[in-house]
Structure 1
Amino acid sequence: MSTATAAPPAPPAHLWSPRLRAMTVGSVALVSLLAFEALAVGTAMPTVARTLDGLGLYALAFGGPFASGVVAMVASGIWCDARGPRPAMWHGVAWFVAGLLVAGAAPTMEVLVVGRVVQGFGSGLLSVALYVIVAQAYPEELRRRVFAAFAAAWVVPSLVGPAVAGLIVEHLGWRWVFLAVPAVAVPAVLLIQPGLRALGAAVPTRPPAGALARIGWACGAGASAALLHYGGQQRGVLAAGLIAAALVGLLACVPRLLPAGFLRAARGLPTVIGLRGLASAAFAGAEVVIPLMLSRERGFSPTAAGLVLTVGALSWSVGSWIQGRIAAPRSAATLPRVGLTCIAVGTAGVALALLPALPVALAVLAWAVAGLGMGLLYPSLSVLTLDLSAPAEQGRNSSALQLGDSLSAATVLALTGAVLAAGSAPGRASYATTLAVAAGCGLLGVLLAGRVVLTGDRAKAARAG
């Protein structure tokens, strides 16, 4: 008598399949919360600093969570590979919520900074755990759509986050910018929990050799990143000295946290992570210049200049939507190359606003092209990272991707701040220089894009570990 073997269930056909619906809603909600908090705090912080008489700690209130987030990304990658994403997810939410509550109830600026550091640590744990969840819960053919949804989750906070935060500060008080978010964060992670349980418990393994050393290097990178952030807000010789010291620290620590061959753009994962960093540097370097340039050179109001940035956010979402719905290109290098070309052309085109004879609409259109490129690029590089990662290295490689992203953006922002502060007032030469650097980062990425592709045997070895 023969026994029939049950066929394995068919993989879900879309993100809203019954098996994935709650996971998708919860994950996108968490990304939206992280985005809202990142954007809203910038709006509320001037009022916070005045109320708590803490202007001296203003820079640390931003640099502290950035540094703790760097450490958390590395720790989360190690943890996810050894224990699966569930512990890192739950601890990330716990730290994130605890930090918000401490900051919201802070009687002094010192306590608020502590809360911000705790919150930043939780954000770092969550961001990496979400990537590993995508790798384990979603079939390969849906991953580009998941990351497109994550990109879209940033759009609404980008559009309304600062305005909503301003209304909350004016009518409810700045503390509610921090205290309101936990009410949504906990339900969001509860939506994810059944899907995590369905994945099954990971078989605990020992952390890989060198894990403790990686945490140490992460602490050094985090401290250097905080120093870089602080130095970028200073002026003159002090700023130059702090930025130089921070860059030395980053050069010493970061290569030990990224895949071997990163600095020489070795084929495969090292180049994938390098392209993400170049794109982040290009976009962030241009984005920070645009409001100042448009207000000083073309007479834009703060609201009008902000609307130009909104155009980039919307086109980013459009690009993410497009890459999630087109057929997979024959070459893995196609979308990164097209995206980086758009970024290079778009950031260079923003400089057209420096020519009074040309309509500023051309620069706005160029910024939309840059945003479109980011939308095409970011999800495709996230998917490539998971494709090139063995199951036991998904956490480590996801943390490396986000680490390179964050530190590249922080570095270019600090250097941009130094360039803009070099003279008595920023001029056209300063704007043109920073935009040229941004476009150069994009162009370098275009030249390196083909190196994301591995040859057959090496690709199989990378995915098998």
Structure 2
Amino acid sequence: MSNHQSIFSPRYFALSIGIILSVMAVGFEGLSVTTIAPSIAGDLNGIDLFGWIFSTYLLAQIIGTLVVGRIIDRKGPAAPFTFALLLFIVGLIVAATASDMYIMILARAMQGLGAGAMMTCVYTAISLSYPDELRAKILGAFGTAYVLPSMIGPYVAGLIADQWSWRFVFWGILPILVLSALLSLPAFRKLKTQGTQGDNGAAATWMALLLTIGTGIFLVGLSMLPVITGLILVIIGLVLMVYPLRKLLPKGTLSLRRGMPAILATRGLFFAAYASTQNFLVLALINVKGITPSQAGLIVASAALSWCLIAYLQGLWDSADQGRGRHTRITLGVLLLAIGIAFVFWVPVVTVTVAVIGQIIAGIGIGLAHPISGVVAFSQTGEEGVGKTSANLQFADSFTPGVVIGIGGSILVICQAAGMTMQSGLIVAMGFHLLLIVMSLISSTRIRPAN
């Protein structure tokens, strides 16, 4: 293939734009809900169910991600992608017209199922449609499409909610999804997999359900800590989570085995540490440093900007060295993430300048590591297992951050119950993120398959 081939050349244009739009729609919706959730809970008289606006989405996303990966490997991605799009669209409509909190939670479940399945199908389309030399570029664009909403999504959603109603946020996403469907569905219908029957789809579905139940119990337990009932629920949840995780993920993922298991472990750990750090840095800047929410948002957006820039450049670097530097770039990216998080670890010395520098470095790190880890994963996957690999990548991007953010929240609660200040609790939480990054760095040295 010519080095001048582009993800926006005529052959790939419709699929590339369709993928980017679908990712932007899911990213914008997810981040917008963070801003409008208090208004939703207030209008629907459901403050006591506030947390389930987010938890339900995450739990449903687990099922949508893991189950659809097996379906793709047996029947191809076209039908699952169509169904996922429709489910997400119906979820948006139900949310926009919700009359009480229970209907909103149902809508969030539909959105989570649809989003998990959609993103898994998108990863599959990337693996099947683009040659190896273009995957770094499309995955870089994928990352950019997911990051860009983080810069404008919360602000735009808040503006819409203030000027009109939070319901218009859900309505506004519909046209983007419809356009995405028109562009990408014709390309999806042409994609075929090997139709492997080696994986027991029913067993995988039950494992996904068990993992969802275990994760739900775990998150509920975390929210109750340090009460003894919460600790018991956390232990029960962990026990229920470990078995399905060992069955659903490649063998050796939890022990950082070389090759694909180490790739997924590396990605899950660094992405969780990055996402959770973003959340708690905003909390530190607002509650400890007295910075306004809009200023804190701009500081966090500096990471998104450097992520977007490096995600674009690493596609060029990948073409220049024909993929020979991929493993090095992943490890370097994780190392830069560690440095970026270390900048904001010691909350008492964090100033606006220090926070911006740390965020820019962290953005460079994840811009290097995130797209290329996907490219490396697909390079180690045969066509018959592309759906499963796609599901595993999406799982690393959604499940692990959700759990780690929950753990970080419980760390704050426990620290405050022990008489520590918010500042001290945030330092402990940031220390936990640094520990995850160190584990990811160790795992990144094992991503080359064993000879």
TM range (shorter): over 0.9
2:329 aligned with 1:338, yes or no?
no
Using the alignment, how far apart are the partners of 1:58 and 1:426 within structure 2? 25
Of the candidates 101, 123, 137, which is equivalent to residue 115 of structure 2? 123
Q: Report the Cα offset of residue 208 of structure 1.
A: 3.1
2:296: which partner in 1?
305
Of the candidates 260, 263, 267, which is equivalent to residue 258 of structure 2? 267
Q: Pick closer, same or farther for the CA change 1:305–1:419 going to 2, 3 Å.
A: same
Which piece of structure 1 moves more, 135-144 or 57-66?
Answer: 57-66
2:161 aligned with 1:192, yes or no?
no
2:280 aligned with 1:289, yes or no?
yes
2:204: which partner in 1?
214
Using the alignment, how far apart are the partners of 1:241 and 1:302 within structure 2? 36
TM-score (norm 2): 0.93
Q: Percent identity?
A: 28
1:461: which partner in 2?
none
Structure 2 unaligned spans of 5+: none
Using the alignment, how far apart are the partners of 1:359 and 1:177 within structure 2? 34
Of the candidates 18, 35, 47, which is equivalent to residue 10 of structure 2? 18
Match of 1:106, SS state, is: coil
1:459: which partner in 2?
none
Question: Aligned partner of 2:92: which letter?
Answer: L
Q: Report the Cα offset of residue 155 of structure 1.
A: 3.1
2:103: which partner in 1?
111
Using the alignment, how far apart are the partners of 2:428 and 2:130 within structure 1? 43
Q: Report the Cα offset of residue 232 of structure 1.
A: 4.1
2:43: which partner in 1?
51
1:462: which partner in 2?
none
Q: Report the Cα offset of residue 120 of structure 1.
A: 0.9
Aligned residues of 2:64 and 2:117 also touching (Cα < 8 A): yes
Aligned residues of 2:82 and 2:185 also touching (Cα < 8 A): no
Q: Report the Cα offset of residue 362 of structure 1.
A: 2.1
Which piece of structure 1 moves more, 283-292 or 264-273?
Answer: 283-292
Using the alignment, how far apart are the partners of 1:360 and 1:170 within structure 2? 28
2:67 aligned with 1:64, yes or no?
no
Q: Pick closer, same or farther for the CA change 1:11–1:90 going to 2, 3 Å.
A: farther
Q: Pick closer, same or farther for the CA change 1:206–1:148 going to 2, 3 Å.
A: closer
Question: Aligned partner of 2:448: which letter?
Answer: V
Aligned residues of 2:58 and 2:112 also touching (Cα < 8 A): yes
Deviations for 1:26-70, whole angstroms, at most 9, x for unmatched residues?
Answer: 110000000000011121121111111112222222111211110
Q: Report the Cα offset of residue 435 of structure 1.
A: 1.4
Q: How does 1:166-181 map to 2 (within 5 A)?
A: 166-181=158-173
Match of 2:5, SS state, is: coil
Deviations for 1:251-274, whole angstroms, at most 9, x for unmatched residues?
Answer: 232121100111221111000000
Aligned residues of 1:78 and 1:207 also touching (Cα < 8 A): no
Using the alignment, how far apart are the partners of 1:24 and 1:286 within structure 2? 30
Using the alignment, how far apart are the partners of 1:50 and 1:41 within structure 2? 14
Aligned residues of 2:306 and 2:363 also touching (Cα < 8 A): yes
Using the alignment, how far apart are the partners of 2:302 and 2:219 within structure 1? 27
2:443: which partner in 1?
448
Question: Aligned partner of 1:227: which letter?
Answer: I
Q: Report the Cα offset of residue 310 of structure 1.
A: 0.9
> RMSD of the TM alignment (CA)?
2.1
Q: Pick closer, same or farther for the CA change 1:261–1:162 going to 2, 3 Å.
A: same
Using the alignment, how far apart are the partners of 2:8 and 2:187 within structure 1? 13
Aligned residues of 1:27 and 1:192 also touching (Cα < 8 A): yes
Aligned residues of 1:420 and 1:426 also touching (Cα < 8 A): no
Aligned residues of 2:95 and 2:104 also touching (Cα < 8 A): yes
2:423: which partner in 1?
428
Aligned residues of 1:221 and 1:253 also touching (Cα < 8 A): yes
Aligned residues of 1:353 and 1:360 also touching (Cα < 8 A): no
Q: How does 1:11-410 map to 2 (within 5 A)?
A: 13-199=5-191, 205=195, 207-237=197-227, 238-326=229-317, 327-328=320-321, 329-355=323-349, 359-410=351-402
Q: Which has the higher Rg, Structure 1 or Structure 2? A: 1
Q: Report the Cα offset of residue 368 of structure 1.
A: 1.5
Using the alignment, how far apart are the partners of 1:71 and 1:116 within structure 2? 13
Match of 1:70, SS state, is: helix
Which piece of structure 1 moves more, 328-337 or 141-150?
Answer: 328-337
Aligned residues of 1:332 and 1:453 also touching (Cα < 8 A): no
Question: Aligned partner of 2:256: which letter?
Answer: A
Using the alignment, how far apart are the partners of 2:404 and 2:250 within structure 1? 21
Which piece of structure 1 moves more, 9-18 or 405-414?
Answer: 9-18
Structure 1 unaligned spans of 5+: 1-8, 457-465
Q: Pick closer, same or farther for the CA change 1:20–1:236 going to 2, 3 Å.
A: same
Aligned residues of 2:258 and 2:450 also touching (Cα < 8 A): no
Using the alignment, how far apart are the partners of 1:369 and 1:134 within structure 2? 28
Using the alignment, how far apart are the partners of 2:293 and 2:179 within structure 1? 36
Q: Report the Cα offset of residue 234 of structure 1.
A: 4.1
Aligned residues of 1:352 and 1:360 also touching (Cα < 8 A): no
Q: Report the Cα offset of residue 370 of structure 1.
A: 1.1
Deviations for 1:200-243, whole angstroms, at most 9, x for unmatched residues?
Answer: x556x464342211111101111222334444444531544443
Q: Report the Cα offset of residue 429 of structure 1.
A: 2.7
Q: Report the Cα offset of residue 198 of structure 1.
A: 4.2
Q: Would you say how many aligned residue pairs link Structure 1 and Structure 2?
A: 444
Q: Pick closer, same or farther for the CA change 1:11–1:339 going to 2, 3 Å.
A: closer
Aligned residues of 2:90 and 2:110 also touching (Cα < 8 A): yes
Deviations for 1:79-132, whole angstroms, at most 9, x for unmatched residues?
Answer: 111111111110110110011111111121111111111111111110100001
TM-score (norm 1): 0.90
Question: Aligned partner of 1:340: which letter?
Answer: V
Question: Aligned partner of 2:426: which letter?
Answer: Y
Q: Report the Cα offset of residue 369 of structure 1.
A: 0.7
Q: Report the Cα offset of residue 455 of structure 1.
A: 4.5
Aligned residues of 1:352 and 1:362 also touching (Cα < 8 A): no
Q: Report the Cα offset of residue 319 of structure 1.
A: 2.2
Aligned residues of 1:342 and 1:369 also touching (Cα < 8 A): yes
Q: Report the Cα offset of residue 384 of structure 1.
A: 1.0
Q: Report the Cα offset of residue 449 of structure 1.
A: 1.6
Q: Pick closer, same or farther for the CA change 1:161–1:363 going to 2, 3 Å.
A: closer
Aligned residues of 1:12 and 1:20 also touching (Cα < 8 A): no
